[in-house]
Structure 1
Amino acid sequence: MNQHTVTIEVAGRRLKIACPQGQESALLLAAKELDKRLGACQSQGKVFKTAEQTMLMVSLNLANDLLTQQQSFEQEKQQLQSKIDLLQQTIGQAVQNQEKSA
């Protein structure tokens, strides 16, 4: 996959990041979200000793949000699969009943 560099800005720093071709928009959105969360952390008065600690805390919060969403999607997937299974069973029974009465 071809890679090229994309310039992003996070916490007032401009960085050139290697990015797979076609993923530029996703990278820019991710950088924007990270910058937004860093700004929110600072505006809430959360004080860390270094910028790296602040970045680490925001990154951990993002990772936690991702894991929470993944768990939620997995639960929804299981619920939908249960509904599909029930529908298939109901349809199967209806077909059997139809065949018996025919």
Structure 2
Amino acid sequence: MSGNFIDVAILGREYRVACPPGEQEALLAAVAYVDRKMQDIAAKSKTAAAERVAVMAALNIAHELLSAGKAESPAENPETPVDGSDFQRRIGAMETQLDAALQGQEPLF
């Protein structure tokens, strides 16, 4: 590590990330968490496309945060609880759309 940067590895790829002094431990914990999530998804996935794995990891982490109440609901009224079954259905639909787009079958959006 040099200056305000730290070198980390996620899913076997190296990244240099800006890191304020005193935040290295928290950043390394976040890197380890994201790497574990991505490794799990890559192991279960039909494809090893890093972009798809990253998007699915992000969606899973967002779902965990929303379910735990640590982030605001994307609904117009933040007080409205998140419908877990609807959220899972939407993640499944996004995964299907990502698979099709990565296989060149249809545009992503």
Q: TM-score range by the shorter chain?
A: 0.5 to 0.7
Partner of 1:13: 13
Partner of 1:51: 50
Highest Rg: 1 or 2? 1
Give the Cα–Cα distance (whole angstroms) in 2 for the partners of residues 50 and 66 of structure 1: 24
Q: Which has the higher helix share?
A: 1
Q: Which runs of 5+ in 2 are unaligned?
A: 71-109
Deviation digits for residues 14-53 of structure 1 (CA, Å, limit 9, x no counterpart): 1110011111111111111111111111222x12473111
Partner of 1:22: 22
Matched residue count = 68
Whether 1:67 and 2:66 are equivalent positions in the alignment is yes
Partner of 2:33: 33
One-letter amino acid of the structure 2 residue matched with residue 23 of structure 1: E
Q: Which runs of 5+ in 1 are unaligned?
A: 72-102
Which portions of structure 1, spanning 4 or more consecutive aligned residues, are displaced by more than 3 angstroms?
none
* RMSD (Å) for aligned C-alpha atoms: 1.8
TM-score normalised by L of structure 1: 0.59
Percent sequence identity is: 28
**Residues 17 and 41 (structure 1), Cα distance of their counterparts in 2 relative to 1, 3 Å cut:** same
Preserved contact between residue 4 and residue 19 of structure 2 (Cα < 8 Å)? yes
